[in-house]
């Protein structure tokens, strides 16, 4: 079931949108302002975002800018819902990375068509060449930090030391491993499977789609609305910590 977040300050419009999408079988989440919408996006990692432009506190453009700062969230399809039809407004949104515009008032059929198209294109973009599926006889055992994993790298296959893993990010059943040597390796393994074998005193899940190696943390900084970002060594872009996992982070670094 695809998740959709709707950010709209008009209560009647938002509730109608949520009902329409719910009837169509989508899992829906609503927010009346940009700040709350961002928090829901961080926590739920939705498949699609529908966002009004004229919002209190953060407007739709600012919401999209914040999302674009996070490499895990920026790939989420983003549809602007707006009464602003000037070409300059549309161009601004597209330059920020918006995927589509729906103008108010709208027909339900047009809305649903746009949603289906964006979700379909998102699935097509996520399909890559078939990733290597790791076969490890001891995959249910906790790994040692100095243990070597047998993993592919491009056209070759090589060993990766567990503690050299900086982070693991996931897209459903597939996950991307980034190492301290600059390698990026795609394998068929989900977050729960990684959590079951990685040493929990070293590898910390900070988001639905992210596990990091705390030995490689360079800095933890406050970000938006009391949330946090983690900067890892050798990775320029920060990782956002969702509220769901913030407590675990504080417990890990409690003196």
**Domain identity same for 20 and 113:** yes
What is the CATH number for 194? 2.40.50.1020
Q: Is the pTM here over 0.75, yes or no?
A: no
What is the CATH number for 43? 3.40.50.2300
Rounded percentage of the chain residues whose pLDDT exceeds 90: 42
Angstrom distance (rounded) from CA 48 to CA 22 = 14
**Domain identity same for 171 and 210:** yes
**Domain identity same for 9 and 52:** yes
**Domain identity same for 9 and 116:** yes
**Domain identity same for 18 and 113:** yes
Q: What is the pLDDT of residue 153?
A: 52
Q: What is the pLDDT of residue 152?
A: 61
**Residue 133 domain flag:** no
How many domains does one find in the chain?
Answer: 2
212 forms beta bridges with 167, 204
Say if residues 99 and 77 touch (Cβ distance below 8 Å).
Answer: yes
Q: What is the pLDDT of residue 130?
A: 43
- End-to-end Cα separation, the chain, in angstroms: 41
**Domain identity same for 21 and 121:** yes
Domain that holds residue 164: 148-252
Residue numbers of the chain with a pLDDT score lower than 70? 84-85, 121-140, 152-157, 171-172, 254-255
Angstrom distance (rounded) from CA 222 to CA 60 = 22
**Domain identity same for 116 and 190:** no
**Residue 140 domain flag:** no
Q: What is the pLDDT of residue 255?
A: 61
**Residue 143 domain flag:** no
**Domain identity same for 94 and 21:** yes
Q: What is the pLDDT of residue 136?
A: 46
Token pair 């994993």 in the structure block, residue: 149
Q: What is the pLDDT of residue 127?
A: 44
Angstrom distance (rounded) from CA 76 to CA 71 = 10
**Domain identity same for 86 and 185:** no
**Domain identity same for 19 and 87:** yes
């Amino acid at each position: 079931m695809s998740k959709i977040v709707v950010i709209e300050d008009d209560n009647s419009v938002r509730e109608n949108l949520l009902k329409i999408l719910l009837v169509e079988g989508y899992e829906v989440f609503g927010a009346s302002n940009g700040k709350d919408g961002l928090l829901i996006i961080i926590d739920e990692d939705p498949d699609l975002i529908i966002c009004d432009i004229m919002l209190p506190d953060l407007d739709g453009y600012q919401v999209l800018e914040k999302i674009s700062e996070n490499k895990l969230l920026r790939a989420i399809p983003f549809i602007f819902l707006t009464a602003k039809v000037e070409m300059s407004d549309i161009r601004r949104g597209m330059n920020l990375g918006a995927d589509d515009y729906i103008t108010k008032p709208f027909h339900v059929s047009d809305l649903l068509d746009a949603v289906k198209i964006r979700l379909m294109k998102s699935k097509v973009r996520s399909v890559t060449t078939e990733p290597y599926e790791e076969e490890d006889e001891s995959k249910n055992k906790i790994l040692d930090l100095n243990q070597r994993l047998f993993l592919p790298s491009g056209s070759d296959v090589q060993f990766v030391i567990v503690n050299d893993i900086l982070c693991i990010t996931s897209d459903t059943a597939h996950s991307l491993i980034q190492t301290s040597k600059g390698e990026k390796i795609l394998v068929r393994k989900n977050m729960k499977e990684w959590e079951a074998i990685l040493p929990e005193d070293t590898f910390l899940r900070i988001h639905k789609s992210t596990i990091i190696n705390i030995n490689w943390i360079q800095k933890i900084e406050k970000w938006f609305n009391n949330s946090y970002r983690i900067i890892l060594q050798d990775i320029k872009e920060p990782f956002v910590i969702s509220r769901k996992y913030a407590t675990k982070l504080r417990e890990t670094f409690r003196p």
